[in-house]
Amino acid sequence: MTYETKPRIVIVGAGFGGLAVAQGLGRAAVDITLIDRQNHHLFQPLLYQVATAGLSPADIAWPVRHLMRRQDNTRVLMGEVRAVDPARKVVMLAAGPVAYDILVLATGASYGYFGRDEWAAHAPGLKTLDDATAIRRRLLLAFERAEMASNPAEAARLLTVVIVGGGPTGVELAGAVAELARRALVRDFRVIDPRQTRVVLVEAGPRLLANFPEELSRYTQRALERLGVEVRLGRAVTHCDAGGVRLGEEAIRAATVLWAAGVTASPAASWLGVAPDRAGRVPVTADLRAPGLEDIWVIGDTALAKNPDGALQPGIAPVAKQQGAFVARAIAARLAGRAPPSQFVYRDRGLLATIGRKAAVISYRKLRLRGWPAWWLWGAAHVYFLVSLRNRLIVVTQWLWSYALFERGARLITGTGASGVRSGAPESPDG
């Protein structure tokens, strides 16, 4: 295939996958347009620490323009995609169309509520910095309102946190919220005792961390329970509102409900006119292209991709990064007239989850690690994959400070609802 000018590569999404494609083509004779609806690249694996006041937003996010500043073949646009027209080869933004010769969709996913989208207002998910700061605000406002509550029942509701979903995000949130209440806040209040905070982790399946070996799932449950977390397995949420949740016949009154169960992919399938799977993902070919569309690649959480043995590639950062690097190589080979790689195979980098201070689990092939050694390896791995040296130093310093003194320095209540705190409110803590 020949082009009248430099090939125009449009990448939608500046997450792990999209950024890997752009960086992999950094020296190619192409014109790259990198589009994202946010102006920053986010290190999502540590997002829960922003939500629980362990880190500040700037510790885990970097402006995309700054990351691309030395890559002269790349233009960055902040905008939200409304549609894709494969026939005309244009991506439609609110500001107008962007033409492409080759398109890469790396648009990620959001949490799904199993057809009950109205629950999202009462049980926010955790995918963006806005989500994290909103959750932090809810959590901290609940403690402030409990301090002023005259009714013990209302104070108990304000000090109850329900987390829905027993995957890595739910487990990490539950452990971090328990430690926030029982360690970091314990001396900050005079009326309430934050150690009385009730943290409930709800999982519809038979065990936590379903993708991990069973022995690590059992260890995770025991470790959470030692932190004071109530673990409810085999229980699905049947109702959710401002007053709390219902698990079948059991009602749990809670001011804060957090959602970490199930994901729904971006609208990429509908943009392309492709039948999605149940989670909205685009079923891709072995080389990660959209079916029947040879100029469009789909990667990351947006793609339903499988290894040659039929195993589904998980929606985690290492997969997206490897897919992005593969697509960059495939595009470079195609433009050079070489045969592109025919099949992407995910090289397993293991599964990691932290449970709390000095507790984590790691599964890598036949290796099983848990407890304190796993916690240090988990921390080292996450620091290593942070984008800049500055952020690595900041995060390490924050963690060492928290480890030594049981403090969390990012306990700021900002944004709408930060003023006019009142107790006895019937609505959610953001109300």
Give domain limits for the chain. Answer: 8-37+79-111+263-335, 117-261+357-405
Distance (Å, rounded) from C-alpha 148 to C-alpha 211?
42
Find the DSSP H helices in 198-316. Answer: 214-226, 268-272
Reply yes or no on whether the pLDDT at 391 is more than 90. Answer: no
Reply yes or no on whether the pLDDT at 157 is more than 90. Answer: yes
Among 289, 328, 299, 322, CA closest to 25? 328
Phi, psi of 234 (to 5 degrees): 65, 25
User: What residue type is 347 in one-letter code?
Assistant: R
Among 61, 182, 197, 41, CA closest to 133? 61
Reply yes or no on whether the pLDDT at 380 is more than 90. Answer: no
Tell me the per-residue pLDDT of 6-19, one tens digit each, with 9 for 90 and over: 999 999 999 999 99
* % of the chain residues with pLDDT over 70: 92
Reply yes or no on whether the pLDDT at 2 is more than 80. Answer: no
- For residues 79, 83, 87, 88, the Cα torsion angle rounded to the nearest 10 degrees is -40
Distance (Å, rounded) from C-alpha 356 to C-alpha 222?
12
Least confident range from 4-8, 110-114, 198-202, 256-260: namely: 4-8
Pairing mode, strands 109-111 and 250-253: unpaired
Tell me the per-residue pLDDT of 326-361, one tens digit each, with 9 for 90 and over: 999 999 999 999 999 989 999 988 999 999 878 999
Note whether 8-37+79-111+263-335 and 117-261+357-405 share their fold.
yes
Tell me the pLDDT of the chain averaged across its residues: 90
Reply yes or no on whether the pLDDT at 390 is more than 80. Answer: no
172 is a catalytic site residue: yes
- State the pLDDT at residue 416: 59
Whether the Cβ atoms of residue 7 and residue 95 lie closer than 8 Å to each other: no
- State the pLDDT at residue 420: 38
Distance (Å, rounded) from C-alpha 114 to C-alpha 121?
14
Note the CATH number of domain 8-37+79-111+263-335.
Answer: 3.50.50.60
Tell me the per-residue pLDDT of 32-78, one tens digit each, with 9 for 90 and over: 999 999 999 999 998 999 999 888 888 889 999 999 999 999 999 99
- State the pLDDT at residue 414: 79
How many Cα atoms within 13 Å fall on the side-chain side of residue 16?
21
- State the pLDDT at residue 83: 97
Rounded CA Rg of the chain: 22
Reply yes or no on whether the pLDDT at 1 is more than 80. Answer: no
SS3 218: helix
Pairing mode, strands 90-93 and 31-36: unpaired
Distance (Å, rounded) from C-alpha 375 to C-alpha 381?
10
For the stretch 190-204, what's the b/e string if a residue is b when 16 or more beta carbons lie within 10 angstroms of its beta carbon?
eebebeebbbbbbbb
Entry pTM: 0.90
265 token code pair: 């992919």
User: What residue type is 387 in one-letter code?
Assistant: V
Reply yes or no on whether the pLDDT at 289 is more than 90. Answer: yes
- State the pLDDT at residue 365: 87
Note the CATH number of domain 117-261+357-405.
Answer: 3.50.50.100
Residue 296 β-bridge partners: 103
Distances (CA, A) of 84 to 18, 75, 77, 246, 273: 17, 19, 16, 40, 9
Tell me which of 144, 154, 172, 203 is the catalytic residue.
172
Least confident range from 44-48, 76-80, 153-157, 280-284: namely: 44-48
Reply yes or no on whether the pLDDT at 427 is more than 70. Answer: no
Confidence band of 429 (pLDDT split at 50, 70, 90):
very low
Q: How far is CA 232 from the centre of its chain?
A: 23
- DSSP of 26-68: TTSSSEEEEEESSSEEE-GGGHHHHHTTSS-GGGSEEEHHHHT
Tell me the per-residue pLDDT of 98-118, one tens digit each, with 9 for 90 and over: 999 999 999 999 889 988 999
Average pLDDT over every residue of 164-175: 96
Confidence band of 225 (pLDDT split at 50, 70, 90):
very high
Find the DSSP H helices in 149-242. Answer: 152-158, 168-179, 214-226
Going through 255-407 in order, the beta strands assigned E by DSSP cover: 256-259, 263-265, 282-283, 296-298, 303-304, 351-356, 359-364, 367-370
- State the pLDDT at residue 184: 86
User: In sequence order, which residues have a C-beta less than 8 Å from that of residue 275 and are 6 or more positions away?
Assistant: 269, 283
